[in-house]
Amino acid sequence: MSTYPIEQGVRTAASQHSDAQVAAAELAAALRHDNLGFVLFFCSAEYDLAALASALESQFSSVPLSGCTTAGEITPLGYDRGSIVAIGFDGRLFAIETALIDDLDHFDLANAQPLVDSLLEQCRRQAVAPINEHCFALTLLDGLSSREEQVLATLDAALGRIPSFGGSAGDDNHLSHTHVYTAGHFYTRAAVVVMINTRLPFEVFSTHHLIPLTHKLVVTEADREQRRVIELNGLPAAQVYAELVGSAPDELSAAIFARHPLAVRIGGQHYVRSIQRVNSDNSLSFYCAVENGIVLTAMQPTPLLDDLKTMLADVRSRLGAPSVIIGCDCFLRRMELEALGDVEQASQLLCQSSVVGFNTYGEQHHGMHVNQTFTGVAFGSLPVNDI
Amino acid sequence: MDLFQLTTFNTDAADSRDGKDAAALREENRRLRKVCQALIERVETGSSADNAPYAAFERSVLLAEQVRERTDALHRTLDELSQVNARLQAAKAEAEAANLSKTKFLAAVSHDLLQPLNAARLFASALETHLLPDASQALVGHIGRSLKDVEGLIGTLVDISRLDAGVLHADKAPFAVNTLLDALAEEYHQVAGVRGLTLHYVPSSAVVESDLALLARVIRNFLSNAVRYTEQGRVLLGCRRRRDGLEIMVGDTGPGIPEQQREAIFLEFRRATQPNSAHSRGLGLGLAIVDRISTMLEQPVSLTSRPGVGALFSITVPYATAAIPTVSNLRTALPSDATEDLLNGENPLKEDPLSGCVIWVIDDDLAIIEGMQALLGSWGCRVRAAGTVSALEAASDGEQPAILLVDYHLGEHRETGIELASRLQRRYPGLSAIVITANHEAEIKRATREAGMHCLLKPLKPLRLRMLLTNAAGSIKT
């Protein structure tokens, strides 16, 4: 074990080894030091999760860990798959507390308020930094739970002025099981709230590269529980969407969903509602809540890399060179980059700005469940006279 | 919004207007109904469907929107506040600059006024020693007193402006309170007697720490007021030992101060009741000055009074924690007003040590030089006065000076009076030096004291000068 300069505050590491034991050992070797206070990780759903859980617990012994499964990882070297990436937080600069929400269906304000209060109290006790203006919440949700909206709205009400962001766990596009991890176990149909209280300056951000077209589609029949749109404009949804994008209904794929998103407009802003898949009955399943009577606007991408560059430059101008950025990057963005052959360039950009994170099945920003965005938190460096 | 532009209509075919068109229109009609129905349902239930996931999302968006708007509003307010702040800062800087220029102006005016006034006083005092017809002697006396009043008024105005401008700094040092109170008691014993009042003085052996000159001003103002406003009875000067310091009190059997006026009398240009016109030469600034000095010294003033019975003003000063320094500046700091005229012209000291005493005067103002020569000459001193040391030495025929009177400000590019005096003291060991300055800053007083010299403030009070010279001459002879 070793000490290391406090001004860095965080260390990042990744392992491509598919064996859980080896991967956990590699991460521990890179991250452990005397002041390691917390580890956040994002892992491929391909890992033997039970083996990974016990390997991580034994490697990091008393250090608490949280994380989730992904639809792709962002490692210190850029985009990756089948790997695990982790961030180690220095306990001298960070007070981090976590809570598990394992009953997403019955999570209401009466549960949320004590949960938030208790997290803040535990952070306060560590006396790392004042709570006010020095706190944010990171949420990791089961991406297939269909409960994101309610849980987030409730949690956001309890968080009040504390900013929040997060991502929905993925499973490499299998759309079967996504997991969140805390206190030694992986959970499904659950959420992890990570309260981060830090001396480092930080900024929670969200960006996307999509602009509205003029076409409008009205949802005329929907199954809100299943997040399914059955009809658009009075016709089978898949047929109308396929016609909109100029392809046959049976040719629709994630790559097309990524290039031709739909969005709802609320208060002058457009929020993308991403399509998950086409069902056999020509209905469309979404990654987020839908409702009968909502109006969907056809969207069109602008160059993704330009938007990413601008966003990273903006963050840099406000915070200085980031010590780390934790990014929740919609997996549809990655599909688009792959379709355009821009993955390498994007990886370089992410690497230069010290971004680590994962590809999500949906992002969370200030209590909103959003799609097809790049949402996260950027940490600056500790002012020199503060060390 | 072209809702159904994706629906294919074969509008080009002219022959298909009938059956096909009707079917298409029926289909479009069906879909429009469906759309309308969905929209109506959405509009009617949208906001009330609290448990619906989409409604939760929509609420979060609207909430985030509100937060954003509120944050923007907050930023705008903060911007406005900082602009207002900047304007206030500018206004404050302007006001401070104006205040500073006012202070500079007053300092310049006071210096320029006091300089000729000083000379006039010296001439008047010298004239009083001449053998004149009684009528002329009385007139000279009046001139002297009128000049003294003018001097007092200008002095008060200058003092209050200096106190307001914050250029006056306290020079606190330990001293035995009796050295101050004895002198004041003696002075006001005479003044009270003239007004038919008795001054009852209780001495104290306490040693206190304060700025002697400023404290003297406070107590003198208390005494002046007591004498001025008390028609009959007595004035008390005494001390009370408190745990937090010595309370120096001045009481009287005057009309007292009504409750509602007790704060107002500490403001400028205010008086409690119309004073006896024969004695109203003040500007009503006395207690305003007391208040400011009290604040500056951080030594509190208090007032108790019963209307019709009397008033008791007091100031509480801390006990000294250090020993009294060896060079005493007591006499120099005690301007004497009342005893001056009574004693001046007489010969209070039988063996006058001033007689034949060699005094050198260095000042760059010719009127002062001439005035000093007249005054010191009338006291029997051998006076050599000039603007520079070389001129003085040339005129002195190798005579050893006993006392040096030197102006502190000898002109822009010359040494200070203290530096010149030190130089001469090295050349003439045993030379006693008195530095005269119109600058009331505590630093000069302190520097003089540290150099082992005496300091006199302009305008010069002839009696004080004489007492100081007598002391200096006496200590040289013994």
A159 and A229 part of one domain: no
Regarding the domain delimited by B341-477, which CATH topology (the fold level of the hierarchy) does it fall under? Rossmann fold (3.40.50)
Does residue B2 carry a pLDDT above 70?
A: no
Mean pLDDT value across chain A: 89
A350 domain-assigned: yes
The residue from A301, A335, A356 where one domain ends is A301
Out of A275, A301, A327, a domain closes at A301
Chain A residues with CB inside 8 Å of B52's CB? 224, 289, 291
The b/e string for B83-101 (b: 16+ C-beta within 10 A; e otherwise) is: eeeeeeeeeeeeeeeeeee
- The Cα B224–Cα B236 span in angstroms is 12
One domain for residues A285 and A311? no
Q: Which residues of B touch A243 (CB under 8 A)?
A: 6
> Is residue B8's pLDDT more than 50?
no
A64 lies in the same domain as A156: yes
- Give the C-alpha distances (Å, rounded to integers) separating A340 from A213, A335, A345, B4, B450: 21, 9, 11, 31, 87
For residue B353, say if its preceding peptide bond is cis, omega within 30 degrees of 0: no
The CA distance from A273 to the nearest CA of chain B, in Å, is: 11
**For B66, which residue in chain A has the nearest alpha carbon?**
A267
- The minimal CB distance from B53 to the residues A214, A224, A293 is found for A224
For residue B350, what pLDDT is reported? Answer: 46
Whole-number percent of chain B with pLDDT over 70: 81
In this structure, what CATH number is given to the domain that contains residue A239? 2.40.30
State how many domains chain A has: 2
A215 and A197 within one domain: no
CB pairs under 8 A between A and B: 108
pLDDT classification of B340: cutoffs 50, 70, 90: very low
Q: What residues of chain A lie within 8 A of the CB of B58, using their CB? A: 266
Task: Say if the Cβ atoms of A291 and B30 lie within 8 Å.
Answer: no
Q: Do A79 and A169 sit in the same domain of this protein?
A: yes
Are A86 and A23 in contact by the 8 Å Cβ rule? The answer is no
Using the beta-carbon criterion (under 8 Å), do A156 and B60 form an inter-chain contact?
yes
Taking the CA of residue A66 and the nearest CA in chain B, the distance in Å comes to 26
What are the tokens at B80? 């406005």
Do both A338 and A230 map to the same domain?
A: no
User: CB count, 10 Å around CB of B28?
Assistant: 15
Residue A279 lies in a domain: yes
Given a cut of 80, is residue B276 above it in pLDDT? no
Chain B partners within 8 Å of A240 (Cβ):
6
Whole-number average pLDDT of chain B: 79
Residues B178-197: tens digit of each pLDDT? 988 998 898 888 888 888 89
| Over residues B7-20, mean pLDDT | 55
Regarding whether A85 and A37 lie in a shared domain, the answer is yes
| CATH 3.40.50.2300 placement within chain B | 341-477
pLDDT tens digits, one per residue of B107-151:
677 767 777 787 888 888 888 888 888 888 888 888 887 887 777
Residues recorded for chain A:
387
Whether A199 and A228 share a structural domain: no
Confidence of residue B411 (pLDDT cuts 50, 70, 90): confident
Q: Are residues A323 and A182 in the same domain?
A: yes
Q: Is residue A1 part of a domain?
A: no
Residues A314 and A254 in one domain: no
* Residue numbers of the domain that contains A59: 6-207+306-386
- A290 and A354 share a domain? no
Mutation pick from A145, A217, A228, A266 vs chain B, by most beta carbons of B within 10 Å, is A266
Question: What mean pLDDT is predicted for residues B415-437?
Answer: 88
| Residue numbers in B near A146 (CB within 8 A) | 53
For the segment A148-160, the average pLDDT, to the nearest whole number, is 85
Per-residue pLDDT at B338: 35
Architecture in CATH of B168-317: 2-Layer Sandwich (3.30)
Q: Give the CB-side neighbour count of residue B310, counting CA atoms within 13 A.
A: 15
Specify the pTM: 0.55
Q: Is the pLDDT of residue A273 over 50?
A: yes
CATH 3.30.565.10 range(s) for chain B read 168-317
Check residues B12 and A324 and name the one with the higher pLDDT. A324
For residue B31, give the nearest of A150, A215, A234 by CB distance. Answer: A234
For range A87-97, the mean pLDDT: 91
Each residue's pLDDT tens digit, B30-77: 989 988 888 888 887 765 556 677 888 888 887 777 777 777 788 888
Which residues 238-257 of A are in CB contact (within 8 Å) with B? 240, 243-244
* pLDDT value at residue A6: 56
Q: Report the relative pairing of strands A355-360 and A324-330 from DSSP bridges.
A: parallel
**Over residues B461-472, mean pLDDT:** 82
Residue B324 has pLDDT above 50, yes or no: yes
As to burial, measured by CB atoms within 10 angstroms (0-12 exposed, 13-18 middle, 19+ buried), residue A260 is buried
**Residue A262 in domain:** yes
Is A314 within 8 Å of chain B by CB? Answer: no
Q: Average the pLDDT over each of A99-108, A358-367, B63-72 and give the range with the smallest value.
A: B63-72
